[in-house]
Every structure is written in C-alpha cells, then in structure tokens.
Structure 1
Amino acid sequence: MTRCNRLSLIFVLACTAACTAPDRAGDPAGAAPAAGAGEPVDATAPASGEGDVLAGEGFRAQGNEPFWAIDVEGDVLHFVTPEMPEGRTLQGVRIAHAKGVAFSGEDDGRPFNLDITRVGCSDSMSGQEFEFTATWDYAGQRMHGCARTSE
C-alpha cells in the first residue's frame, strides 16, 4: 500500500469514527456531561453504583497516532485500526474500580486491557471533548485516547 493510500485510509477511518459518534446536539461546546442528573462526577466513588454512567453497558474509545477505536457492548470489545479495518472481536472481563472501569482478557495469547477513567479528555487532532480518558494496552503496546458512553 502506498503512503498516499495509507494516509487516505487513516483519514477515512478517523472521519468515520467521528461521524459514528453519538449525537451531542444541545450540549454546550466543550461541556462534559455529568454522570447523574446534574450531579458532579466523584472520581473516588465506586463505578458500580446504580445510575452511575460507568455501570452502563456500552462505550466508544478511540485514539490517534496510532489510530485505533474500540466499541464496547457488555464485556465484548470490537477493536479496529487502519491496518485492521475489519477489526477483531474480543471477549473481556469487566472490572469496576474506584476511578472507572476496565476490560481485560487475551486475544490468541496476547493480553489486552482497556481502562476507562472519569477524567475529561480532548481529542489531540479534532479538539473534540470527551467525558472519559481511555488507555488501551494490547500485546505489549500502550495507546492513549478518549472515550464516551455509547448508550
């Protein structure tokens, strides 16, 4: 694949990730939604409480340089990259912790861990604001990005 084609694919995937994000119409620009009904998020509270946004089922996590995206439904993660546009579906174990939630497992002997924490995040390329920070460890490589709920 030529450099130009590779860059075009990266651009298309980045645009697709941005275009498939949940609609935030009505949210003030740059405002991170609160976890509860107008309540501030307490980063020290357990992530398993009823009504807690991190106790929800779905998330979208994504990062740049390298580009990656993960859609989480329950304990199932779908991981895509420009080099792997068809993606990989991974079965994880959901682990709630004081600062958020993590999903851990193995993919053909390669360990993975997606950690989503209650720290606001700004996309390094688009400047878009997200409600959570994401760290993706896959097969010995650590990648950083942002996340939001997909529900």
Structure 2
Amino acid sequence: MLSKAKTLQAVLEMQKLFPDAHCELDHQTPFQLLIATILSAQATDKGVNKVTPKLFAIYPNAHALANSEEEVVIECIQSLGLYRNKAKNIRLCAQQLVERFNGEVPRTREELVQLAGVGRKTANVVLSVAFGLPAFAVDTHVERISKRL
C-alpha cells in the first residue's frame, strides 16, 4: 500500500505520461455515459460508439429507454456481444433510474451499484467522467498490470 505522498507522486507522474487521457465513449449526458459504459462490457469502445448514436437518437434519456420495447433496443445494439442481456439490463437500469431517482443518474457509488448492469467499475467511470469525482475505474487488465509493476 502506498502512502498518500507516494500515491500523489504516482498520480502526478501518470498525468505527465498521459496528459490527454480521457474517456473514449461518446456521450453528451451522464445518462448516456452510464448506458454506454454498461454496453462496453466485453466490447470495444469503438463498437459501442457505433451503436449508441442510433440508440440515443431513439432513447435520449432514462424515461424514454424505460418505456422502450426490448426488440427495438436489441435491434440498435445487436452488433455488440451479449446484446440480449445488455438490452435487458439497460432497460431495467433506465426503469430503476426513473423509479428511484426521477430519471437522473445518482452521484454516489452506493446508489449506482444498485442499478441493473452497474458494478464498481461502471460506477467509478460515471463518477469520475460525468461528475468529476475522485474514482478509479479498475478492470482486470489494469489490476493485472498493476500487480506486475
């Protein structure tokens, strides 16, 4: 475990190495980022960015997606792997957003991970990218490389 001083030093060094680091998922709103991040599981950001323009044109917010027909959602995202399960999850997530949060994306990890299709990594992406809150999105690749280092 690194001390606070060493952690800060490591973060500053990473900022020097990667000054233009940013989220590769195309999005305009926290809702769109949330849905795109859920869709990115077992898929590339490039693949997700190909399907989200059509998806978000039809369903621009949680209320619209919550009232969607599953087959239309599937049609929008079928080029992604696991598209049936993802369609189910993003529709349920949107319904939960409407029921619990008036259609708004919550700003806490605890609330986010209660949504369908949202785990710790997805929650951390949304918190850091959409809301500028301190959170690290650590996937299996980052964990593996970190352990090697």
Relative to the length of structure 2, the TM-score reads 0.30
Select the structure that is richer in strand. 1
Select the structure that is richer in helix. 2
Larger radius of gyration: 2
Relative to the length of structure 1, the TM-score reads 0.29
